[in-house]
Homo-oligomer: A and B are copies of this chain.
Amino acid sequence: MPLLPRRFERLRTVLNQRMADLTVLVEHVEKPHNLSAILRSCDAVGVLEAHAVSFSGRPRTFNSTAQGSQRWVPLRDHATIASAVHHLKDRGFKLYGTNLGVDARDYRDCDFTGPCAFVLGAEKWGLTEEATGLMDQAVFIPMRGMVQSLNVSVATATLLFEALRQRQAAGVAPHNGEGIPAEQYGDLLFEWAYP
Contact = CB atoms under 8 A, between A and B. Distances in A.
A9 to B, nearest CB: 13
Contacts of A161: 141, 158
A65 interface: yes
Contacts of A151: 36-37, 40-41, 65, 153
A44 B165 contact: no
Which DSSP category, helix, strand, loop or mixed, fits chain A's interface? helix
A153 B153 contact: yes
Interface stretch (A87-95, A142-150, A183-191): A142-150
Contact of A147 (B33, B72, B143, B144): B72
A120 to B, nearest CB: 14
A11 to B, nearest CB: 8
How many chain copies? 2
B108 A165 contact: yes
Given A14-B146, A72-B147, 15 more contacts: A37-B153, A40-B150, A40-B151, A44-B143, A44-B147, A44-B150, A45-B144, A46-B144, A67-B147, A71-B146, A72-B146, A141-B161, A144-B164, A151-B153, A157-B157
